[in-house]
Chains A and B, each alone.
Chain A
Amino acid sequence: MKNSIDNIFKEAKKQNRPALISYTVCGDNNKENSLNILNSISENIDIAEWGIAHNCPTADGKEIQNSSYRALTNGIKLKNIFQMVKKYKKNNFSKPIILMGYYQMIFNYGEVKFIKKCKEVGVDGLIVVDLSYPDNKDFAKLCKKNSICFVQLIAPTTSKQRMKEILKVSDTMVYMISMISTTGSALKVTTKKIIENYKIVKKISPSKNVVIGFGITEKTIGKLKSADGLVVGSAICKEISKSLKHRQNPVTNVSKLVKKLKSKIL
């Protein structure tokens, strides 16, 4: 199964488009809806990222904070997240799922136990926001041993030397943060600049699948489609907030949004 993430990128490349990756918070706005959202968008996305809600999210913007807050208020626990991943994978066997969260949640559960559980339920990859290189060396090894893709991050502040080191140890998928920001604010750099940075990363490591995330919306996604993959998070979380505010069904609204996003990268 290790290759399921790699295969997804290969498939997308065959279709001459970037992989589309969604980010939602598991349990937002409640357990049932968040699984329904994922199921309903799965035909239009290539990889699903599911956030593990934490109540001290030091790198998230307002939209994802709101999502995490709703998920926590509705009682989401790691136990539920694992069950829900299992359910999702049962219906979407070939669709990779990546869990994303803060290290505290993993540390508290126990690293080894956490990875074992991830493997058992079918988690394909992990992103740990605040466990950066080189502190993540041991954890990354542990992931590798269990055929889970540990996704390293690269930021606009990352020096070239550091980039090289990170890419050297990274798994096949790498996450490039588009701008100096928390998640979910408007793009404050041009898409051109982002693609320039992206090219620097690709030049160092052409074989890695580099995905771009942070601040990508319906408006900007088309201009970034030369990347290997694009992550849309806050825009989806915002759609959930908006739907709830207008008493509309978040499942259908998010599904529509994702369809639109997909149409822009074809």
Chain B
Amino acid sequence: MKLKKGINIIDQHDKFGFYCNGKFGGNFVAETARKPIEDLSKLFEKLRRSKKFLKKRDFYFKHYLGGETPFFKLNNLTKYLGGAQIWCKDVSAINGDAHKAYHATVNALICKESGKKFIAGDTGAGMFGKNLALAAKEMKLSAKIFMGTKDISRQAPNVKFMREAGAEVVPVDSGSKTLVDAVSECMRHYVSNCDTTHLAVGSAIGANIFLKICAWSTSQISRELKRQLIKEFGEIPKLKLINVIGGGSSALGFWNEFIDYDKKHVELIGVEAKYAAPLATNAKVAILHGAAQYCLTDKEGQIAETHSLSAGLDYPGSSPLHGLLKDTKRARYTLASDKEALNAFKLVSKLENLRPSLEPAHAWSECIRIAPKLKKSDVIVVNNCGKGYKDKKIYIENIGYYPE
């Protein structure tokens, strides 16, 4: 299997929605959802080719989400680690505090275009839920956010945002009470209400159209980064792009524009949470939430429980697109433990004016691990994709403080 050059990775599927000769993706959904999904696919393909819609998207990205997020060198961390130059693409500076703002906003725009008045989404860390709630408010839609009860309690600050924005937060108390159960419940809600409700899936997962919409939306990150790199370096230097992977939406957005580059030129490194790492641990392919993907399961094929301090990473599956990037060896996947992520947060927040949430702290951990072994001419860029305020309590519980 080879990636096709010059074709957006999201479009490298067959007519059944499969990537990699049928190995990943597809549309494993109940008959009831087929028609609404097909309608959504048609609508999305039309909108992404419509100048008017793109203008609207860009308007919202600029004026509602605050425009280009900053890109800067971390001089202290670079000096401290003594190897590669370390740069930060600070996506957390966006209005909405995480990359989830892009696809929450796009989903609300699509919902509006579809004529539907209800929007439903899942959330783990609460970043997607919060952004969807805000976008729904902005566009006068009624939002339902599905969230595991364990996550409602550990990501309370974001739950507050959702409720204040007028969204209904639906607690999901089944299974492990985390993201996997929230996604299942949200999909069930969709099956029952697909005639009136737009489904916004919180990561680059789900049946084909959902992961396409997601990765298409977050790609804004790499469009900006490419411009910013050229402005700084006059060219695309030899790069390592490090990104955390939960479902994989931020990584796909961070990498999208760079996939055609040779991996010796632009290396893509994904970091999963240690006990939620289907890509890094060579898990089996399984069908979860409508798509075939690398996924943690038990011997019987039941979906396995995961464990991570980070609610956004506590998910057994992975985007079918990451399956494709792994099998074609375009990206490399590794993992970081809770402890390593916490240590990374300590160091980064001590040396730099950054307060990453637990999710990007995993990416920082890999950066800290590899930077000292690299040369000064090597450039590492880390996607700092989420703000730490939501994890303040968890940081205090685990490291004793949260730097203001």
Contact = CB atoms under 8 A, between A and B. Distances in A.
Interface of A: 54-61, 65, 69, 72, 77-78, 102-105, 107-109, 129-135, 153-159, 162, 177, 180-182, 185
Contacts of A72: 302
A54 B174 CA distance: 13
Contact of A58 (B26, B31, B184, B284): B184
Contact of B287 (A55, A59, A103, A133): A103
B297 to A, nearest CB: 7
A56 B16 contact: no
A59 B191 contact: yes
Given A65-B174, A103-B287, A108-B286, A58 B302 contact: no
Contacts of A105: 300-301
B193 interface: yes
Closest 5 CB pairs of A and B: A108-B301, A155-B32, A157-B35, A104-B287, A59-B30
Contact of A182 (B16, B35, B175, B192): B192
B188 A61 contact: yes
B300 A134 contact: no
B303 A56 contact: yes
B289 interface: yes
B287 A130 contact: yes
A108 B303 CA distance: 11
A177 to B, nearest CB: 6
Contacts of B29: 58, 130, 132
| Main SS at interface, chain B | mixed
B35 A58 contact: no
B113 interface: no
Contact of A57 (B33, B180, B184, B287): B184
B149 interface: no
B290 A130 contact: yes
B180 A56 contact: yes
Given A78-B300, A105-B301, A185 B192 contact: yes
Contacts, number: 109
A69 B175 CA distance: 9
Contact of B300 (A77, A131, A133, A154): A77
A180 B290 contact: no
A62 to B, nearest CB: 9
B171 interface: no
Contacts of A54: 301-302
Contact of A108 (B16, B30, B187, B300): B300
Contact of A135 (B28, B193, B289, B302): B28
Interface string B67-87: 000000000000000000000
Contact of B32 (A55, A108, A156): A156
Contacts of B184: 56-58
A119 B14 CA distance: 32
A104 B188 contact: no
A58 B30 contact: yes
Contacts of A156: 32
In this complex, which of A55, A61, A109, A153 has the most chain B Cβ atoms within 10 angstroms of its Cβ? Answer: A55
Interface of B: 16, 26-36, 174-175, 180, 184, 187-188, 191-195, 284, 286-290, 292, 297, 300-303
Nearest to B15: A134
A72 B175 CA distance: 11
Contact of B288 (A56, A59, A65, A135): A56
A58 B301 contact: no
In this complex, which of B32, B36, B188, B287 has the most chain A Cβ atoms within 10 angstroms of its Cβ? Answer: B32
Given A132-B34, A153-B30, 17 more contacts: A56-B184, A58-B187, A77-B300, A105-B301, A107-B301, A108-B284, A108-B297, A129-B30, A130-B29, A135-B26, A135-B27, A153-B31, A156-B32, A157-B35, A157-B194, A177-B32, A180-B191
B191 A159 contact: no
A1 to B, nearest CB: 27
B303 A155 contact: no
A58 B290 contact: yes
B17 to A, nearest CB: 9
12 contacts: A56-B289, A59-B188, A104-B286, A104-B288, A107-B286, A108-B286, A108-B300, A129-B30, A132-B31, A158-B34, A162-B34, A162-B35
Contacts of B287: 102-104, 107, 130
Contact of A157 (B34, B188, B288): B34
Contacts of A133: 31
Contact of B303 (A55, A59, A60, A69): A55
B314 to A, nearest CB: 15
A182 B27 CA distance: 17
A105 B303 CA distance: 10
A102 B30 CA distance: 10
B302 A182 contact: no
Contacts of A78: 300
Nearest to A137: B16
A158 B30 contact: no
A245 to B, nearest CB: 18
Contacts of B34: 132, 155, 157-158, 162
B288 A181 contact: no
A155 B32 CA distance: 5
Contacts of A57: 184
A98 B174 CA distance: 27
